[in-house]
Amino acid sequence: MSNTSGKTPKLDKLDKGPWPSFVKEIKRAAEKSPMSKDLLGQLELSYEEKIGHWKHGGIVGVFGYGGGVIGRYSDVPDKFPNVAHFHTMRVNMPSAWFYSTEALRKLCDIWEKHGSGLLNMHGSTGDIIFLGTVTDKLEPIFAELTEAGFDLGGSGSDVRTPSCCVGPARCEWACYDTLNLCYDLTMHYQDELHRPAFPYKFKFKCAGCPNDCVASVARADMSIIGTWKDGIQIDNGAVKEYADKGMNIQKDVCGNCPAKCMEWDGSTMAIDNSLCRRCMHCINVMPKALRPGKERGACIMIGSKAPIVEGALLSSVLVPFMKMEPPYEELKDLVEKMHDIWCEEGKNRERIGEFIQRVGLGNFLEAIEVEPSPYMVEHPRDNPYVFYEEYFEEGDEDEGEEEDE
Amino acid sequence: MADELTAEQVADAMYKMVADAQGQKKLKPMDLQKSMIEYFGGDRCDKKLCKAAIKELIESGRCVYTYFGGSFIELPHEEGAAKG
Ligand code: SF4
Ligand code: SF4
């Protein structure tokens, strides 16, 4: 049964109840936009037939750029001519998603004028996602966006739009300026962002502390997570206040410390910082009494990804602590070495985490000239998966080395 | 000593490679870079020059980026998927 009639009984079910619903929003847009109307029709057809009707990819883009536009076409254009082309545009969002209302209005005006009027704030990469336009409109949209001070983000085998948590703009726990680093990386890697030259995508995400509000540990090829080197700052008076107000410090704070490195004797809190895993639990529970240490920077982790070509990976520690101050030369040098070896040896559609798994972390570290360290772990207190040659004595080769090729 | 190689010369060689492969094999920027360094020699052609050559190729409109699971460089052509 075709549903060009405009009736959408299946989608209507998703529209019921008090919750926000994408169907509700598409229906509202459909009152003004024929594109959104046909989108509803095609979606209903997909629900009926249990099959998607989109074809992705191809040649579309704006002049000079290899990313930022994702070609999308209907495979039933005769039934739904208004979504024969339904391209997505990724617009580079500002650091930590701060907008003026004027900027938001401008974005919406551009999109209502040239596209379906539907947008997604924000996609999993963090970008502003404009959903649905035709090839001829791409250049006019791009021109108006740049006029308004916006640029396209990344897509394809390139540096994806870097994203960051709100950091020091609103959060007292930020161990470095996430917004500044995010902006700096975005500007520094403009070429890599707009001209895809990698085996596959590469994502930077900057979190100000181990709470990792941008989920960088699960979603970034390079997760830059704020941390501290010295001890947690303790205000014993404030700890006592929490206790006096009824918090069970022993059970709820010390008892849940994964390192079991905290002690509370009723008046003094003691932390063995050499064992602390910087998990943020105690600081989250008693924000007025505990703070991250004063010697702050970031832990550089590498390799996470969602399951696309292969299974999901979480990032693991590459550099346990790095000062994170402009112009971020140490970080950029490291990134360049990583990109070089990955571009040289990586297979098509192989993320850097998969590449490291394939070649082995030891070989990867050697190529990027980073010394192995026991901190290079997948999880705290996990076995390091670094091959330590100095632990092998002469005659141990048979056990320790791989076969010669 | 050999003449200094320019980005335009590398772009011309890249263009020829893309044109020869069109319809048979999709080439990634890295394929072009590796081939150019091999063809001209590492002492004359490096990563930076190849990057400049690719920029030249794209900005002159002689080639375009395409996406089919990964990003490729091809000659401009009519979009197959757009034909329905
Ligand atoms: S990741 Fe940490 S610093 Fe960033 S917003 Fe979350 S709690 Fe604050
Ligand atoms: S940050 Fe985590 S590991 Fe460290 S002392 Fe607090 S609860 Fe324990």
Q: How far apart are CA A67 and CA A159, in angstroms?
A: 9
Mean pLDDT, residues A196-212 taken together: 96
**Which ligand is located closest to the Cα atom of residue A175?**
1
Using CA atoms, how far residue A166 sits from A175, A208, A221, A297, in Å, is 12, 8, 20, 16
Q: Which two tokens stand for residue A137?
A: 């409109």
**Among the bound ligands, the one closest to the CA of A211:** 1
pLDDT of residue A400: 35
Question: For position A276, what pLDDT does the model report?
Answer: 95
**Average pLDDT along chain A:** 90
pTM: 0.90
Q: Over the Cα atoms of chain B, what is R_g?
A: 13
Whole-number Å distance between alpha carbons of A400 and A388: 10
Task: For B54, name the nearest residue in chain A, comparing CA atoms only.
Answer: A195
Cβ-based contacts of B58 with chain A (< 8 Å): 64, 66, 195
> Percentage of chain A surpassing pLDDT 90?
81
Report whether pLDDT(A404) > 70.
no
pLDDT confidence of residue B3 = 75
* B81 neighbourhood in chain A, CB within 8 Å: 55-58, 71, 73
B70 with A78: Cβ contact below 8 A = no
* CA A310–ligand 1 middle distance (angstroms): 30
CB pairs under 8 A between A and B: 89
- For the cut 80, the answer to whether the pLDDT of residue B31 exceeds it is yes
| Amino acid A397: pLDDT | 42
pLDDT bracket for residue B80 (50, 70, 90): low
Q: How far is the CA of A281 from the centre of ligand 2 (A)?
A: 6
What is the distance in A from the centroid of ligand 1 to the CA of A175? 9
pLDDT interval class at A138 (50, 70, 90): very high
Q: Which of B58, B66, B71 sits opposite A158 (nearest CB)?
A: B71
Which burial class, exposed, middle or buried, applies to A72 when counting CB atoms under 10 A from its CB (0-12, 13-18, 19+)? buried
Report the pLDDT value the prediction gives residue A378, as an integer from 0 to 100: 59
Residue B81: pLDDT band with limits 50, 70, 90: low
Please say if the pLDDT value at position A384 is more than 50: no
With beta carbons under 8 A apart, name residues in chain B contacting A64: 58-59
Q: Place A377 in a pLDDT band, splitting at 50, 70 and 90.
A: low
- Which residues of chain B lie closer than 8 angstroms to A38, CB-CB? none
> Structure tokens of A96?
């930590």
Neighbours of B35 (CB within 10 A): 16
CA of A279 from ligand 1 middle (Å) equals: 12
Of B54, B79, B82, Cβ closest to residue A195: B54
Q: How far is B76 from chain A (nearest CA, A)?
A: 8
Q: How does pLDDT run across A47-95, given as a tens digit for each residue? A: 999 999 999 878 888 999 999 999 999 999 999 999 999 999 999 999 9
- Ligand 1 centre and the CA of A184: distance in Å? 19
Q: pLDDT tens digits, residue range A240-255?
A: 999 999 999 999 999 9
Q: Which residues line ligand 2 (CB under 6 A)?
A: A 257-259, 261-262, 271, 276-282
Residues A231 and A293 sit within 8 Å (Cβ to Cβ): yes
Report the SS3 class of residue A119.
Answer: strand
**Mean pLDDT (whole number) for A382-391:** 48
A398 pLDDT more than 50: no
The residues spanned by each domain of chain B are 7-82
The answer to whether residues A214 and A206 touch, using CB atoms and an 8 Å cutoff, is yes
Predicted local confidence at residue A20, as pLDDT: 86
The string of pLDDT tens digits covering residues A116-129 is: 999 999 988 899 99
Beta strands A163-164 and A204-207, pairing class: parallel
Using the predicted structure, report yes or no on whether residue A366 has a pLDDT greater than 90.
yes
**pLDDT on residue A18:** 85
Mean pLDDT of A343-365: 92
Residue A40 backbone zone (phi > 0: left; psi -120 to 50: alpha; other: beta): alpha
CA-to-CA distance for A240 and A259, rounded, in angstroms?
Answer: 22
pLDDT tens for A317-344 read 999 999 999 999 999 999 999 999 999 9
Residue written as token pair 């090829």:
A221
Q: Chain B contacts of A196, Cβ < 8 Å?
A: 29, 65, 71
CA-A210 nearest atom, ligand 2: 1
Please check the confidence at residue A7 and state whether its pLDDT lies above 70: yes
Residue with CA at minimum distance from ligand 1 atom 4: A208
Give A397's DSSP letter.
Answer: H
Q: Give yes or no for a contact between A201 and A157, defined as CB atoms under 8 angstroms apart.
A: yes
* Residue A19: predicted pLDDT: 86
Q: Which residues of B touch A (CB under 8 A)?
A: 28-30, 33, 47, 51, 54-55, 58-59, 61, 64-71, 74, 76-77, 79-82, 84
We find that the CATH architecture of domain B7-82 is Orthogonal Bundle (1.10)
pLDDT of residue A271: 97
CB contact under 8 A, B71 and A64: no
Q: Where are the alpha helices (DSSP H) in A224-306?
A: 236-244, 281-285
What sections of A50-158 are H helices per DSSP? 101-114, 138-147
CA-based R_g, chain A, Å: 25
Say what the pLDDT of residue A181 is: 98
- Residue of higher predicted confidence among A305 and A384: A305
